[in-house]
Structure 1
Amino acid sequence: MPELPEVQALADFLGERAAGRTVVAADVAAIAALKTYDPPVTDLVGRTVAGVDRHGKWLDLRLDAPGTASTGSTAGELHLLVHLSRGGWVRWSDRAPTTPVRPRLGGSSKGTALALRVRLDDGSGFDLTEAGTRKRLAVHVVRDPDDVEQVRTLGVEPLSPAFTPEALATLLHGKNQQVKGLLRDQRAIAGIGNAYSDEILHVARTSPFKLSRSYTDDEVAALHEAVVTTLRDAVAAAAGRPAAELKDAKRAGMRVHGRTGQACPVCGDTVREVSFADRSLQYCATCQTGGQVLADRRMSRLLK
């Protein structure tokens, strides 16, 4: 799943290429991906892309109303909000196809399927696609990003000035839960998912199952530093890369996530895994749990 660094890179990539261009076509291929009906997606046509922003893991294409781009007015502005979920992606084309898009009602197509195609006035454009049979990509056309509850209720941006050690301590001590779950909770901290939470916890040298209220001041400071440095480094590594390269760049930069059975780059121990119903986590026992191995079941406890 694309997380904060990749979504930021996609926002920058699209912003550099689409800003100032006018939408000439917006064709829905997967009806199930479109989560709103008012305004209709056809209202994007004729509008100019004012910019591309990011909210957590959400992409936000801001589109000016016709005739307002030169004045800077936000009256009548629309937002194309996209959550790529696990299998979604953005595929840019300098020469977008002009063949008609055939709407698809179902969400169970195998392989990579087209969800939405947007063409711009210079002939370029982008496709929103989704791989796999579990179609969760979400497209919203709204007047304000806060019209989407998942955006309105996002927690603090971890690379913003508001994310201080004190703010993190408040989140940790507000509810006693496993720290990995807190890092992945979008209502607490926006933009961190399964992969970067593994990376952050490895950098912080802490167990993914450590309870949040057990954190001391020093441990809070270490976790805060790990969040900020891990995400900042990942954003820098992704910056300037074409959309087609971001997935491979993300995998190549991982220390423990997705590297079960390989050597930890810090201590050389074997990276281990805990599997759940629909996901897994990876960690290093030497670096994170004092050498103890986590039981591979949902309600895991440390094995003795």
Structure 2
Amino acid sequence: MPEMPEVEALRQFLGEHLAGRTAGAVFPVAVHALKTYDPPVTALVGEPFGEVARHGKFLDVGVGDAHLVLHLARGGWVRWSDKLPAAPPKPGRGPLALRIRLGEPDDGAGLDVTEAGTQKRLAVYVVRDPAQVPGIARLGPDPLDPDFTLDAFAALLGGERRQIKGVLRDQGVIAGIGNAYSDEILHAAKMSPFKLAAKLTPEETARLYAAMGTTLTDAIERSRGLPMRELKAEKKSGLRVHGRKGEPCPVCGDTIREVSFSDSALQYCPTCQTGGKPLADRRMSRLLK
């Protein structure tokens, strides 16, 4: 699932490649992915691309007076091509959901929005204001915003009686962090994912805040300048505990363990995070919403 660092890398890439260009043709291949109808997606045709922004895990492409907003969910991605097929795409069972071909003089170049897997959660919006997208309207602060200080972070955690893993993933509390980077942040902070957020000491809160900033900033820097086709591999190669069940911890050498939930799993190092004690592998998906 693309999280804030990958979406930020996509933002930077598209911002550079779409500047000064126009949308020549728009093909909504997977109609189920379209979540708005006014203005229609075809209204983007002939319009110049503007600023490309990010709101948490939402990608926001300015096109004329409208905004093309993408939420890539679990299996979505954006692919750039310098030479798209000449024939219009046909709706089918493939991964293609939306194609945008650039206008003259860039005929042939463009981007595809795709979605892999059977769970179709990709969302495409065309709106006049990004705040019209419900998911954006309810977002919490961006963890890399200069205004998101340690004091602001501590204030958010103060009333949270949930486990810290779930709090980090809650987009209404902090925007942009998902399952993978919450595992990485907690490992860097040497903190159990089951620790209650409201019971963190000032020292633990400061350690977690620092780990969050360092982990996300490092991930963005590793992705900077990479072609879009290499971003997924870069994310996977940079993860130290997430997705690495059974492998040695790169810090202490202990075996990385896993806790499974109804639709996801977390990974952690017992020595680094839980005092050497394995966590119970019980189904507690309600705590990770």
What corresponds to 2:77 in structure 1?
89
Distance 1:290 1:190 in 2: 30
Q: Where does residue 292 of structure 1 map in the other structure?
A: 277
SS at match of 1:13: helix
- 1:241 and 1:174 mapped to 2: Cα distance? 40
Other structure's SS at 1:297 match: coil
Instruction: Provide the residue aligned with 1:156 in structure 2.
Output: 141
Q: Select which of 149, 152, 166 maps to 1:167.
A: 152
Give the CA deviation at 1:51: 2.0
The answer on whether the counterparts of 1:28 and 1:101 sit within 8 Å (CA) in structure 2 is no
**Deviations 1:82-112 (CA, angstroms, capped at 9, x unpaired):** 00000001110001222122235xxxx4xx5
Is 1:205–2:190 an aligned residue pair? yes
Give the aligned residue type for 2:207.
A
Amino acid at match of 2:98: L
Q: 2:163 aligns with which of 178, 181, 191?
A: 178
The one-letter code matched in structure 2 to 1:132 is: G
Equivalent position of 1:275 in the other structure: 260
Does the 8 Å CA contact 2:26/2:42 hold for their aligned counterparts? yes
SS in 2 for 1:213: helix
- Name the counterpart of 1:39: 39
Query: Residues 49-60 of structure 1 correspond to what in structure 2 (within 5 A)?
Result: 49-60=49-60
Given the two structures, how large is their TM-score scaled by the length of structure 1? 0.91
Aligned twin of 1:115:
97
Pair 1:29-2:16 in alignment: no
Q: Provide the residue aligned with 1:72 in structure 2.
A: none
Counterpart residue identity of residue 168, structure 2: L
Offset at residue 118 of structure 1 (A): 0.3
Contact 2:262 2:284 (8 Å CA) reproduced: no
Instruction: Please state whether the residue corresponding to 1:117 is helix, strand or coil.
Output: strand
Distance 1:95 1:149 in 2: 34
How far apart in 1 are the matches of 2:269 and 2:228? 31
Paired with 1:100 and 1:119, the residues of 2 have a C-alpha distance of 10
Q: Which amino acid aligns with 2:91?
A: P
Q: Any gaps of 5 or more consecutive residues in structure 2?
A: none
SS in structure 2 opposite 1:266?
Answer: coil
Select the residue among 200, 204, 214 that pairs with 1:229.
214
Distance 1:103 1:140 in 2: 19
State the one-letter code of the partner of 2:30: A
Runs of 5+ unmatched residues, structure 1? 65-76
Whole-Å Cα distance in 2 between the matches of residues 5 and 208 of structure 1? 21
What is the distance in 2 between the residues matched to 1:136 and 1:27?
A: 19
What is the letter of the counterpart of residue 32 of structure 1?
H
Shift of 1:260: 0.3
CA contact (8 A) 1:257 1:283 kept: yes
1:8 and 2:5 are equivalent in the alignment = no
Quick check: 1:266 aligned with 2:266?
Answer: no
Question: What one-letter code is carried by the residue in structure 2 that aligns with 1:237?
Answer: R
Contact 2:160–2:167 (8 Å) recurs in 1: no
Tell me how far 1:240 sits from its aligned partner.
0.5
Q: What SS does structure 2 have at the residue aligned with 1:170?
A: helix
Deviation at 1:173, TM superposition (A): 1.2
Kept in 2: contact 1:23–1:120 (CA 8 A): yes
> Aligned-residue CA RMSD in angstroms?
1.1
Structure 2 SS opposite 1:291: coil
- Tell whether the 8 Å contact from 1:285 to 1:291 is kept in structure 2 after alignment: yes
* TM-score after normalising by structure 2: 0.96
